[in-house]
A and B are shown apart, each in its own frame.
Chain A
Amino acid sequence: MNPFARSHRLVRLPPLRASARRQVFFFTSVVVLTGLASWVLADILWRGGISGLEIAMLVLFVPLFGMVTLGFVQAVCGFFILLRRQDPFSISRTIPDELPQPETLPATAIAIPIYNEDVSRVYEGLRTIYLDLVRAGCIERFDFFILSDSNNPNKWIEEEVAWIDLCKQVKGFGRIFYRKRMVNLNRKSGNISDFLRRWGRKYRYMVVLDADSLMEAETLMRMVQLMEVNPRAGIIQTVPAPIQAQTFFARLMQFAGTLYGPIFQAGLNYWQAACGNFWGHNAIIRCAPFMEHCGLPTLTQGAGRARFMSHDYVEAALMRRADYEVWMAYELGGSYENLPPTPLDHACRDRRWCRGNLQHAWMLTAQGLHSVNRLHLLMGILSYAASPLWFLFLLLGMMQAWVEKSFGAGKSFDSDVGLSSFLDIGGGRLSLLLFGAAVTMLTLPKLLAACLVLKDKARRQAFGGGMRVVAGFAVEHALSVLLAPVQMIFNSRFVVEIMMGRDVPWNPQSRDVGGVDWEGIVTSYIPHTIVGLCWALLAWHIGPALFWWLSPVTFGLIISIPLCVVLSMPGLGLRLRRLKLFVIPAESNPPPVVSHLAKNLESIHQRLPPPPWLEEQFGLTQVVLDPYVSAAHCSLLRTKRVPGGAAHRYLRELSDRLLAQGPAALNRREQMVLLRNAQTVTDLHERVWHLPESQLSSWWRMAMRHYNTLTDRPLTALYR
């Protein structure tokens, strides 16, 4: 359970109309605070008339400050809920503390859609969950489905072999299933729909996991129990806690997410109640209404039909439209995920999410959606669109300063007019007051979250002690100030590129820690550095005061390359962990599933990997050389017939090229074509063993020698 939750008596959720009162209070607070701040800015700008530039600044300021206010009010609401430890709208409180009897739970599917992911992480996560369910005595109630959309032939083979190995090791045949889609229609949402069309009718509920998800058996049981107790619940989303961060950046994000996350989550639940959101994973879904109401159409009609990239928000909105509730079980705990290891990986993920969220603009006026769902969609859009708006706001401010300097139209901040006259503080002080309010709204939520931890001895110690919480808070806050403008430039670029119609490829998320990618960092961050330098020089030219006002923004941009390098260092992250800085409860008192997973992954990483030339083609090599891998792959293929005519000649030509020149002679699509035909795979296996060495390419000769001599016995693609 969440550390803030405590033993409670069983409650019934209040009627949903009661949540409307919360929403009125919440949004009234946001509107009042935003209105007051906008008034103050208008008062500051409107001295002796207001220019076009100033009007533009004011127009931009209202939604941007509104976003800041919304976050602030949400955090304050969450703070008081966690302080009182009473939330009548917490769905977790509708079930008793005791775990349900396994035999009372209906059959539930655990679906894991994967796409070219790190195979060992996916399967070790699955192994950990499976064994935890065995320990809890409820494995009979859960079936696992690995749903692969991988289009990398090596990953495909590794996944198959890993599935067989895992089932063999945990005796999971008939309980863990593997499906590979041949056509990746509609990406992840299409993969889930495909699963539901085939097997959805067998299960009342489906838990969707991501490739890096991890869940405790008790959490899974409670999720099913929550669905049973609340028959109108269509989706219950858990809040995955970040784990296993190694780089400085990931540890920073993990610390921030764990320290500040709870008050924002409680605040979010405060105003969204039964109109929650679906984040695409670590959630339980009622299959029948999902199948009936959440099939996604194409986003746009006509020739260039676009598909939803961020399907989850839309599915939640459609579920709510069908009068099913969508809840966030923020007190449940036992749900985990990994974070992108470096700022660059984080930016890559943001680029994908940015496109998905901007697509939601098409849904804002869709008929029948609940207004809170529309707000979720709008907030998703603004979370990315805000970056170019902030950038524009800052540029307009600079232009205004330049105009005032060039044309001598500077404002007299001490002129005693308007609000400053009424308050008797002068225009300059009024500006400082507004600035102070903005800084407070950005800082206070984090401070409140830190205070909540500091006042609880057990939690404080789990974070490494009071001093370390304070130090972590200070460093995280300082670094987030430096990183914010970097992210602003990235997101602005993404928004512009997407608006200009540039395609966003569907790349798997990086979840693994490698070395520092110097080339990638320099090429990605050099524009930030140039923008930062030009901006600072221009600001200095306009006036030293402006330069210093803008220095937090420009400094972060100028040092973005060294900053990103330092933050990407796994060694530094581990040293900080040894110092117990940025330590989180899941590290100081790791739950068994987390430590089991860490231990298993550690043993895999200690194994000697194949040489790089072989590693990048490892799956293909194994399916051609290893009789068992070849047989396993063929027995899993649905197409076993021998093609005739042109198709046969084409496959033969590809096979010849593969054997004569090595895997590099075939592109990924050609390799996939070969691997999709069982007869071709069997022929390849026989030919590579039949042919004398002199008739094989040098690549295959090397691969065979490696395969025949490297280990005591040939290894299958995975491990153990």
Chain B
Amino acid sequence: MHGDMDILLDSLSLPQPAPADAAEWDEAYGKVENYLRACRVSSRIHRARLTALIVQRAIAQRPLAASGTPITTLAVDEARRLIVAWMGGLLPPRSDERPYTQAEGFVALYLCDGPMRWPNAFLNPREAPPGFLDTLRARLVKAGPDLAVSSMVPRPIDRGILPELAGSARATFDRFPILRTLLFWFLFATALVAAFWYTRR
């Protein structure tokens, strides 16, 4: 798996991009560097070397890419491809032989603080310290324990006759809002009549 990566940093040499593409390559370089920074590659020197390597590989692949593909897309794609391939080599298969997903690999890397504790090991298959590998492989996330399914069903409550009557009355009023409005007017008129009677008696 690592054979096709060819990420020997000693062989690093950046070809000169065509003047017309210079600005785009600059942007691509910046994006790759920022992406590595987002991956917590905090060592600037290591980041610069990795960025140069990735851009170099992207430049080499440009002629093979579909026409119109933005240069930043090529470069960031290459960065992600390298990272995923590198992580795939580090994580062992599960007990059921299924490979770990890319997301699980990233989470394991984050949890073991890999890029910060072993900065030179990032994207470097030749320098994976044993401590790094052991820690990375131990960091498997489980959001919940094994299920112990049981049943909890709502139990009916006999609420007695009054709530049942009130419930049916409420349902009727909900179904016929005009009836509700008429009742409100009736109550208001009754209150007015009562007040009139009270003050005139």
Contact = CB atoms under 8 A, between A and B. Distances in A.
A143 interface: yes
A635 B103 contact: yes
Contacts of B109: 628
Contact of B141 (A179, A296, A635, A707): A635
B161 A631 contact: no
A199 B148 contact: yes
B144 A366 contact: no
Q: Give the interface centre of B31, B101, B149, B159 by most chain A CB atoms within 10 Å.
A: B159
A631 B102 contact: yes
A690 B39 contact: no
A197 B152 contact: yes
Interface string A341-364: 000000000000000000001111
Given A714-B38, A714-B40, A367 B150 contact: no
Interface string A621-660: 0000111101110111000100000000000000000000
A631 B143 contact: no
Contacts of B149: 197-198, 201
Contact of B104 (A145, A167, A366, A635): A635
Given A196-B150, A635-B101, A713 B174 contact: no
A293 B73 contact: no
Contacts, number: 177
Interface string B103-144: 111110111000010000000000000000000000001111
Interface residues of A, number: 72
Contacts of B148: 198-202
A137 interface: no
Interface stretch (A298-306, A328-336, A593-601): A298-306
B184 to A, nearest CB: 9
Contacts of A611: none
Tell me what chain B mostly uses at the interface: helix, strand, loop, or mixed.
helix
B89 interface: no
Nearest to A406: B199
A628 B72 contact: no
A692 interface: yes
Contacts of A201: 148-150
B49 interface: no
Nearest to B106: A631
B42 to A, nearest CB: 6
Contacts of A145: 144
Contact of A636 (B80, B110, B143, B155): B143
Contacts of B162: 365
A627 B171 contact: no
B174 A178 contact: no
A695 B104 CA distance: 30
Interface in A670-709: 678, 682, 686, 689-693, 695, 704, 707-708
B163 interface: yes
A363 B107 contact: no
B97 interface: no
22 contacts: A177-B142, A179-B144, A198-B149, A318-B155, A362-B163, A362-B166, A363-B157, A365-B162, A366-B163, A403-B198, A631-B102, A631-B110, A632-B103, A636-B141, A640-B101, A689-B31, A690-B77, A691-B72, A704-B34, A708-B38, A713-B116, A714-B40
Given A304-B174, A678-B103, 4 more contacts: A51-B198, A179-B143, A631-B102, A682-B103
* 5 A-B pairs with least C-beta separation: A365-B160, A631-B106, A297-B154, A201-B148, A628-B110
Interface of B: 24, 27, 31, 34-35, 37-40, 42, 70-73, 76-77, 80, 101-107, 109-111, 116, 141-145, 147-163, 166-167, 170-171, 174, 198-199
